[in-house]
Chain A
Amino acid sequence: MSILEDAYLPTDEELTTQEVNLSGPVLKAAAFHYGNACLAENNEFMLCRTETNDPRACIKEGKAVTNCALNFFRQVKKSCSAEFMQYYNCIDKSSTDQAYSPCRKTQAVFDKCMKDNLNIERAPFDYFARVQVHKTNRPRPLEEPIPHYPNTPVALPEDAPKPPAKYGSRYLGLW
């Protein structure tokens, strides 16, 4: 295994938190409201994750994301449970790929409930496919310095004599 004995790996206590225990269609049905409600946490986490490319560095941000998602779904359950259930049932059963287009009617009901009770708007259809601009307090990761290898052979000087090859090329030994 390439992970060294003394390399840092978070312990189980650091990693254990309450997970979002929901299946794909439910998450997909809630996606456009969830993305709006937890935009800051999500962007912070994804920025950390792509900047460092190291899951160990983004545990805290990841927990914030899961916590925000849990809060969001608790709110939905409290205020719009029936509408949401109707909507994700439609998303789950109307198409093979959980498309949004067959469920515009139930979606309208759910959107209205979310707007009235929780004041969370549905994001525009392409909002999360756009480039996201995120302001963060996290310091920018250090630029990787150009590596220097001490055992590199010394290069020829610019003005070194370069006479033509004495015996020609040895390519395939033919010419």
Chain B
Amino acid sequence: MATAARKQDMPPEGGYRAIPYKRIPARQFFSGSTLIAGYLGMTAGAAYVFYLNSLHNHIEEIEARSGRLAIQPILVAERDREYLKQLRRNRDEEAKLMANVEGWKVGTWYGEPIYETKPDAFIEPAFHEYYAHTDDWSRRLRQFFVWWS
């Protein structure tokens, strides 16, 4: 086996190319101050549009409230009449139910009134008291299902 001529690896003629380690920054379209000014400008514009929109929403909200308040008297008047009728029905029902109990006086605990200081004032009965003489389902409908309506 002939001894091959040994040849050491050497750099190419004229040396290697320079290693491109220098940072090449991206091309700049805007300067920093332009960017900040543009950001502020667009934010101001958007804030103005937001203001216009919220003004519109506010006006619609007021209109809806105004319409509701305009018809409130009819609804309250009708509700009051039905409410008072039901109170009378409740009182009559209690009188009928407790007719055989000795010493029972309607609206009191054996003659002792619940409220003492203002005998003539109209104090609305508590919720469960109002529904005491109905079937339980009506009470439940009013108490729980009204949340979904």
A contacts, CB < 8 Å to B: 1-5, 7, 9-12, 15-17, 19-20, 27-28, 30-32, 34-35, 38, 41-42, 45-46, 49, 53-56, 58-59, 61-63, 65-66, 69, 97-101, 123, 125-129, 147
Contact = CB atoms under 8 A, between A and B. Distances in A.
B70 A34 contact: yes
B85 interface: yes
B77 A129 contact: no
Nearest to A43: B73
29 contacts: A1-B90, A1-B132, A2-B114, A2-B126, A2-B129, A4-B113, A5-B95, A5-B105, A5-B107, A5-B108, A15-B85, A16-B81, A28-B68, A30-B71, A31-B68, A32-B67, A45-B73, A46-B73, A46-B76, A56-B122, A62-B80, A63-B77, A100-B64, A101-B60, A126-B62, A127-B66, A128-B69, A129-B65, A129-B69
Contacts of A30: 71
A49 B76 contact: yes
B74 interface: yes
A102 B2 CA distance: 101
Residue of B68, B74, B88, B106 most packed against chain A (CB within 10 A): B74
Contact of B66 (A3, A42, A66, A125): A125
Given A3-B107, A5-B105, A66-B74, A99 B60 contact: yes
Given A41-B73, A66-B78, A10 B84 contact: yes
Contacts of A100: 60, 63-64, 67
Contact of A62 (B69, B77, B119): B77
B1 interface: no
B80 A55 contact: yes
Contacts of A98: 64
Given A1-B125, A7-B107, A125 B88 contact: no
Contacts, number: 141
Contacts of A9: 84, 87-88, 91
A9 B124 CA distance: 12
A45 B78 CA distance: 12
Interface string B115-142: 1010111110110010010000000000
Interface string B79-107: 01101110110110011000000000111
Contacts of A32: 66-67, 70
B72 interface: yes
Contacts of A19: 78
Given A125-B59, A125-B63, A127-B66, A4 B74 contact: no
Given A3-B91, A62-B78, 8 more contacts: A1-B107, A5-B91, A42-B73, A45-B73, A62-B76, A123-B70, A125-B66, A128-B70
